[in-house]
Structure 1
Amino acid sequence: MKKPMSSVYGEIKRMLLTYPKSNPLPNDITLQRYKGIFESLGNNIEYIILADNSAHQSIKQTALNSGLDPDTNLNLINARVNYPAHVNRLIRQISGNIWECELESSWHSIWAQDGYCCLKDDEGNSILIEPLDFTRNGDNFVAEQIAARTNIQVEVTKYHIEGGNILAGDNYVIVGSDYLHYNRKITGETDEQITSGFQELFGVENIIWLGFDNPVNFPIDVFQGTYQPIFHIDMYITLGGKSENGRELIFVGDVNLAKSVLEQESPLVEIASSFDKTAEWLSGYSQNGIEFEVVRIPLDLWNISNSQGTFLSYNNCIIEVFGEAKNVYVPSYSSVAPGSINRRKLDETVASIFNEHGFNVTMLSGAYEELCKNGGSVHCITKVLDRE
């Protein structure tokens, strides 16, 4: 029977990274992020990396500089970008049936998390489940390229899924409610049928739809979803394993807490309150023996203009709970610059909160602020393919 790859339980053994460029620079920021991941998560992991052949040597050198053995820890897969591209739009008719077209790129992005979900069967095989309609850049070609060079399998689902909007515990899966509404449109199914379909797809009895009854109406653009405060729940929700009282420990982003740490005014109430409502709903959830113990961590809304803002997400981290170990790998947004004192306050507060709940905390460096400007962070650029 297939089960979802947990977002929290088990020691990480295989991880997918998707390198987005073909010609790395000497101080390439993606390689800096890889170095932080390699050094922190260590050499007990096989890192499967999809990258153009021209970048392989730089990635190998980065692994060596991080204490890894490229021959043991790296599985570098040469990316292919000559797939038939989707047509974005027709520009003009040249003659007869010949048209000038704008094509979607078939080159994959850095966002390794999103184009699929990972399951594991009874024999321990990893299976990438991808939707029929996910076409961002060339990310819809990633799973097939990985399967061709590994023992990982690929299956297709009629449902729209993206890894960043789906988190798996041991006997439940939390899904951002945008996908309930969207799948209703593309499949014509009822909410009950979609829930049943997700239960069958993920092999769990409990599908928890996380979001609001009515669409969000924020005054500025913050990468919000339609029925959820951010378009992917991994930007503001983190599963933490079992708490001491047996409940499911869950960390929920708190915009007001971030501003309190920084001794700044609270941001727009319409946005900040949406995370409070999410935390309240999870605190009151009690079905089929599943209850949550909610812990709040800072989620800083910054870089606000008249039309948009950016979240610095600490929820977008990597967790592994196994045996007596509880590890969390958290993106750091601070630097040694004197002007970074506020970011250090946030980093230290988040580390302290995780530490209070028994976690060994590792702060990862790698210009994650730049990822946040595009709606993601460290969890978004990694995909766990196996845990033990």
Structure 2
Amino acid sequence: MDIIKRAPDFTKLFPTQESFKRAHGDVVAMSDAMLSGDVKASIKALREAADPATLNKAQKTFNMRAFAHELLRTSQFETVSSCEGRIANILITVPSTERGTISARNERHYRRLISLMGGNRTYTILCRPSHIGAIRTWFASIADVQLNFAYSPRFDYSIWAQDAYVALSGKAGQSLLIEGVCFPRFDDMTIADDLSAQTAISLIQSYLYFQGGNVLTSCDQVLIGLDYVWKNITRFGLATQQDVEHEFEAVFGRSVLSLGSDMSSDTYAYDLFRQGIFSGYGNQPLFHIDMFVTPTGIRGDSGKEIVLMGRPSATQEVLGRYCEVSGVDGARIDRYFEPTEQLLSAHYEVRHLPICLTQGDLGGHAAQDYYWLTFNNVIHEEHGAGDKRVYMTTYSEDAALFGTDRALRQDLEDAAASVYESLGFTVLRMDGLEELAYGLGSVHCITKELYRIG
């Protein structure tokens, strides 16, 4: 079973804890140096020279990324909400197998999602030209649906439609994808280019480094995992975390809240990253916040928006243990989620969902590895007045295929469904997504919400 892991290779990036500490220490030292008067003056002069409004006509230089940021600073685009309104246009990317076919398991996931979401919306689909006939059959029983196809016959992109860009929408209904400065996984960096060439979706490239799964939009803010804020600090004109956050705010059209903490001096945390229990660049326990944070768009008794956060301690309440793996200090692992909860609690009412660390080889279909069963990585929408729906991850359906504990997964699914139902959501359960969890993703990761209404 060909499963593409979404996370960066932490061990390759930081082979020793000293290299991990040094990388974070270098950022602090460079940030301090960039705040000196001479360096600030030099950066100011360079920024003015590169500003499209003061372009040096004699040199005839031009920087598209700088132009894109200036355009977005003055535009009325903003990030598509992760929780408000009905999803009017949703993207899926359908990769090809080596035999030129659609994976049967991928097709099963798409079919279940489409049957649950139904019509009264547009589905934008990137695929091989030879796949269009088969894909049309997925919608045979769906009424009031528009299909926008874009073709990519040459590139090997992945199922993870969420990550290579962030979706923005304009006041007049325009859809725009903004790409980060680089995206190293597979050929996914070509997806937005093919979409913009063949559909009405616009494309801009950013100077900033980010990935879509590490960016969520609540009612009032953009939530960004600290990993990718940290990756931008000390780049040109971005001396501090505050500089980076201000630039994200200008580009995304909303205020920004960074989530995470520096774990570079924590030996135990370093070991968790090395083992693959934790993932990312070292500032958040899981490499994308969509794995453990879910804005709901619902106001709690406090008047604040409710955000659901995955905590191993919530798993302990359901199962009587923190995780499915023996010999792991689940209580200690749970504490690494606390800094993110504290940051969220200053702005939101935080409630918990179970998130469960497991280890397995998918019944011999993959290498033995750690992964997380998450119920945060969902899609939800307001389908009409008082009709809130969540398309929720499940795992129990494929327990026999992957040799996993069905009862444990069923208990977690039921507990997560109860949390969503307590907030007024109708819970629509996806099929078994264990192999997506093994790849460090789930249903939110294989889609991209391009436009919402309401």
Tell me which interval the TM-score lies in, with the shorter structure as reference length.
0.7 to 0.9
In the alignment, what sits opposite 2:353?
A: 297
In the alignment, what sits opposite 2:287?
A: 231
Conserved 8 A contact 1:40-1:362: yes
Question: Alignment partner for residue 374 of structure 2, among 306, 313, 328?
Answer: 313
In the alignment, what sits opposite 1:342?
A: 408
In the alignment, what sits opposite 1:203?
A: 253
Question: Alignment partner for residue 429 of structure 2, among 354, 359, 363?
Answer: 363
How far apart in 1 are the matches of 2:87 and 2:271?
A: 37
In the alignment, what sits opposite 1:175?
A: 224
The reply to whether residue 38 of structure 1 matches residue 122 of structure 2 is no
Alignment deviations for residues 12-47 of structure 1 (CA, whole Å, 9 cap, x no partner): 01011001115336x701110111111111111211
Conserved 8 A contact 1:223-1:375: no
The reply to whether residue 50 of structure 1 matches residue 126 of structure 2 is yes
Task: Show structure 2 runs of 5+ residues with no match.
Answer: 1-75, 362-367
The 3 A distance-change label for structure 1 pair 24 and 375 is same
Question: Alignment partner for residue 184 of structure 2, among 131, 135, 148?
Answer: 135
* Percent of residue pairs identical: 31
The 3 A distance-change label for structure 1 pair 55 and 259 is farther
Conserved 8 A contact 1:301-1:310: yes
In the alignment, what sits opposite 1:212?
A: 261
Question: Alignment partner for residue 203 of structure 2, among 154, 157, 160?
Answer: 154
Task: Please say which of residues 115-124 and 183-192 is displaced more in the overlay.
Answer: 183-192
SS at match of 2:436: helix
Question: Alignment partner for residue 275 of structure 1, among 337, 354, 377?
Answer: 337
Please state how far the C-alpha of 1:262 moved relative to its aligned partner.
2.5
Alignment deviations for residues 65-102 of structure 1 (CA, whole Å, 9 cap, x no partner): xx225x94322222132xxxxxxxxxxxxxxxxxxxxx
Please state how far the C-alpha of 1:188 moved relative to its aligned partner.
5.4
How far apart in 2 are the matches of 1:242 and 1:152?
A: 29
How far apart in 1 are the matches of 2:360 and 2:321?
A: 13
Runs of 4+ in 1 over 4 A off after TM superposition: 336-339
The reply to whether residue 16 of structure 1 matches residue 91 of structure 2 is yes
The size of the alignment, in residue pairs, is 352
Please state how far the C-alpha of 1:378 moved relative to its aligned partner.
0.4
Please state how far the C-alpha of 1:180 moved relative to its aligned partner.
1.5
User: Which amino acid in the other structure matches residue 449 of structure 2?
Assistant: V
Conserved 8 A contact 1:300-1:313: yes
How far apart in 1 are the matches of 2:146 and 2:371?
A: 35
Task: Please say which of residues 116-125 and 16-25 is displaced more in the overlay.
Answer: 16-25
How far apart in 2 are the matches of 1:298 and 1:265?
A: 9
In the alignment, what sits opposite 1:222?
A: 277
In the alignment, what sits opposite 1:88?
A: none
Higher-Rg structure is: 2
SS at match of 2:156: coil
Please state how far the C-alpha of 1:379 moved relative to its aligned partner.
0.3
Please state how far the C-alpha of 1:308 moved relative to its aligned partner.
4.8
Task: Please say which of residues 15-24 and 145-154 is displaced more in the overlay.
Answer: 15-24
User: Which amino acid in the other structure matches residue 142 of structure 2?
Assistant: L
Conserved 8 A contact 1:43-1:68: yes
User: Which amino acid in the other structure matches residue 389 of structure 2?
Assistant: N
SS at match of 2:193: helix
Conserved 8 A contact 2:293-2:376: yes
User: Which amino acid in the other structure matches residue 376 of structure 2?
Assistant: N
How far apart in 1 are the matches of 2:77 and 2:322?
A: 48
Report the TM-score, using the length of structure 2 for normalisation. 0.73
How far apart in 1 are the matches of 2:378 and 2:350?
A: 17
Please state how far the C-alpha of 1:265 moved relative to its aligned partner.
5.6
Conserved 8 A contact 1:218-1:271: no
The 3 A distance-change label for structure 1 pair 309 and 150 is same
Please state how far the C-alpha of 1:3 moved relative to its aligned partner.
1.1
Please state how far the C-alpha of 1:109 moved relative to its aligned partner.
0.6
Task: Please say which of residues 266-275 and 348-357 is displaced more in the overlay.
Answer: 266-275
Conserved 8 A contact 1:165-1:232: yes
The 3 A distance-change label for structure 1 pair 159 and 262 is same
How far apart in 2 are the matches of 1:2 and 1:192?
A: 22
The 3 A distance-change label for structure 1 pair 152 and 186 is same
How far apart in 1 are the matches of 2:214 and 2:177?
A: 15
The reply to whether residue 329 of structure 1 matches residue 391 of structure 2 is yes
Please state how far the C-alpha of 1:315 moved relative to its aligned partner.
0.4
Conserved 8 A contact 2:225-2:259: yes
How far apart in 2 are the matches of 1:281 and 1:170?
A: 16
Conserved 8 A contact 1:24-1:58: no
Alignment deviations for residues 77-130 of structure 1 (CA, whole Å, 9 cap, x no partner): 22132xxxxxxxxxxxxxxxxxxxxxxxx4111100000001111211011000
The reply to whether residue 111 of structure 1 matches residue 160 of structure 2 is yes
Structure with a larger share of its residues in strand: 1
SS at match of 1:258: helix
The reply to whether residue 76 of structure 1 matches residue 149 of structure 2 is yes
Please state how far the C-alpha of 1:147 moved relative to its aligned partner.
1.1
Task: Show structure 1 runs of 5+ residues with no match.
Answer: 82-105, 286-290
Question: Alignment partner for residue 308 of structure 2, among 251, 267, 274?
Answer: 251
User: Which amino acid in the other structure matches residue 84 of structure 2?
Assistant: Y
Alignment deviations for residues 187-207 of structure 1 (CA, whole Å, 9 cap, x no partner): 451222211111100111x21
Please state how far the C-alpha of 1:132 moved relative to its aligned partner.
2.4
User: Which amino acid in the other structure matches residue 153 of structure 1?
Assistant: S
SS at match of 1:29: helix
How far apart in 2 are the matches of 1:116 and 1:124?
A: 18
Conserved 8 A contact 1:261-1:346: yes
Please state how far the C-alpha of 1:221 moved relative to its aligned partner.
0.9
How far apart in 1 are the matches of 2:277 and 2:94?
A: 26
